[in-house]
Amino acid sequence: MHEHLQHFIREHNIHEVECVIPDMTGVARGKIVPKDLFLAEESMKMSKAVLTITVNGEFAEFERFVGANDPDMVCVPDASSIRLVPWAIEPVAVVIHDCEDFDGQPVGISPRAVLRKVLALYAARGWQPVVAPEMEFYLIRQNSNPHEPLRPPTGRAGRSEVGRQSFSIDAVNDFDPFFQELSTFCQQAQLNVETLIHEVGACQMEINFTHGNALELADQVFLFKRAVRETAYRHNIFATFMAKPMEGEPGSAMHIHQSIVSSASGENIFSAADGSATPLFFHHIGGMQKYLPMVMPMLAPYVNSYRRLSRHAAAPINVRWGYDNRTCGIRIPPSGPGARRLENRVPGVDVNPYLAMAATLACGYLGMVQGLTPSEPMSDSAYDLDFELPRSLEDAVALMQDCPELSEILGEQFVQAFCAVKEKEFETFNRGITAWEREHLQLHV
C-alpha cells in the first residue's frame, strides 16, 4: 500500500474508505471497505461492466465491450486523490481508483483512462494543459414527483426568488447557511473553490475553481458535485446539475478555461516572447472549431442537454470565436500574455468532468498537430448565426461515431462503448410519453 495512503489513514483516524471510480455518466461507483481491509489490499476487483451503466441504471451492450463472461477489472487507488468525506459521521476517506486489466494495462473505456490518454499525447510533445472549470447549478425545492416542474427553494427570508437576481450578493446570502457549510466541506475535502456568484437564473449559482492540472481538476469537479448535493440534503433543499432544469430559465454550463504551458519552461506556448499570440494559439482554436461538433456527446450527454443549446438562451449554438465575446462558443478572455487562454463555453454542467476535459483538450490538440486555421473572430453577437452544433443527442452520436480522428485519439473501443451508452439512454427516453404530448395531442390530433 502506498505510504501516503497509510499516513493519511493514520493521521485522520479513518474508519472506512470509499473506493470509487467514475463511470461513463460521472456517477461514483465502488465499494465502502473497513480501513484495515483497504490497507491490506493493493487494489480492489470490480465488474468491468460497471463502466457501461447508463444514467438510468441499465447496461449498454456490456458483452460487446467487456466480454460475455462479465469479467472483473483491477481498480488501483490513486494515492494523490485521497480526501476526507467531510459530511460523514465518523472519519471516512474517499479514494479515486484507476481501472486496469489484470496485465496492468488501462481499461480503455474508463473515463479517467481516456483523460490520461489525451494528457499523455500532450506530454509526448512537451506540453502541459492548464484548465479552470466554472460550474453553474440550481438550488431547488425538494420534490418527490418527477412530473412536477422544479421550483426555487425558500431562503432565510421565507420567500422564493420570483425574478432573476443576477450577481446579487443578498440573493446569495439568503442561502448563507448552505454556502457556509459547503465552503467548510470544500476546504476539508481539498477542493480548490474560488469565486461564488449568483448567476442569471432564479436561484442559479456559479462556483469557479483555481486553475491547474486537468486530471486533478476533473477529480475535484467529480467530488464537488457530491459535496453540493449532500450539503443541499442537509439544508432540506435539492441541488441539480441538469443542463436545463427549468422552463423559462437559463441552462447551466461548465465553462472550461484552457491554456498550454511548456513542460520544460512552464511558459505559456500560446504567447510569443514579444507578447503576441503564437500560431499554436490559433491552431488550437481551429481544432476546437472543427472538432467540437464531433465530441458533443461528451459535452452535451443527455436529451435534456440540447434544451440548453438553443437560440437566445444565453448558450452557444455554434463554434464561432471572439475576443471577450460571451455569445461565442469559444471566448478569448482578456488577459496578459502569460495567462493567454481560451474558454470553451459549450459544455453543460451535466457532463462527466473527465470526458469533458478529454474532449475539449483533444479538439485543441488535433488543431495544433494538424495546423488548422480558425475563422475570423466575431465582434458582434453569434446568437443570430446558423446552428453549427448538433441539435439532438441522436445527431451528436452519429457525428462522433463517424470521426476517425477522435477514435484514434480517444480510443476506438471507448468511442463505441460511450456511444452505445448514449444510444441506450436515448432508446429508454424515447419510450416515455411526455406531458407536452398528452396535453397537446391526446384530444387535438
Cα–chain center distance at 280: 25
pLDDT band at 8 (very low <50, low <70, confident <90, very high): very high
Nearest to 250 by CA among 342, 361, 136, 364: 136
The pLDDT of 48-57, averaged and rounded, is 95
Look at residue 1 in the predicted model and tell me its pLDDT.
Answer: 62
Residue 430, in any domain of the structure: no
Q: Is residue 64 part of a domain?
A: no
Has residue 289 been placed in a domain? yes
pTM: 0.96
Per-chain mean pLDDT for the chain = 94
Confidence of residue 61 (pLDDT cuts 50, 70, 90): confident
Query: Is there a domain that residue 210 lies in?
Result: yes
Q: How far is CA 246 from CA 149, 243, 319, 355, in A?
A: 7, 9, 25, 25
Tell me whether residue 41 is in a domain.
Answer: no
Q: Average pLDDT in the 45-73 region?
A: 92
Asked whether residue 153 is assigned to any structural domain, the reply reads: yes
pLDDT more than 70, % of the chain: 98
Q: Tell me what the mean pLDDT of segment 294-309 comes to.
A: 97
Query: Which whole number is the average pLDDT over 410-433?
Result: 96
Per the structure, the complete domain to which residue 381 belongs is given by 119-410
Q: pLDDT tens digits, residue range 217-272?
A: 999 999 999 999 999 999 999 999 999 999 989 999 999 999 999 999 999 999 99
Residue 320 has pLDDT above 90, yes or no: yes
Q: Does residue 415 fall inside a structural domain?
A: no
- Give the CA distances from residue 149 to residues 217, 249, 265, 308, in Å, rounded to whole numbers and listed in that order: 32, 12, 52, 16
Asked if pLDDT for residue 430 goes beyond 90, the answer is yes
Give mean pLDDT, residues 349-357. 98
Q: Please choose, from the candidates 336, 311, 441, the residue with its C-alpha nearest in 3D space to the C-alpha of residue 388.
A: 311
- Judge whether 295 and 419 are in contact, CB under 8 Å: no
For the segment 136-188, what is each residue's pLDDT rounded down to a tens digit? 999 999 998 888 899 989 887 777 776 677 667 877 888 888 999 999 999 99
Residue 152: φ, ψ to 5°: -65, 150
Check if the beta carbon of residue 185 is closer than 8 Å to that of residue 168.
no
The whole-number pLDDT of residue 213 equals 97
Q: What is the pLDDT of residue 174?
A: 83
CATH (domain of 222): 3.30.590.10
- State how many domains the chain has: 1
Give the pLDDT score at 167: 67
Q: Give pLDDT tens digits for 307-319.
A: 999 987 889 999 9
Has residue 243 been placed in a domain?
A: yes
Closest CA to 110 of 32, 220, 20, 241: 20
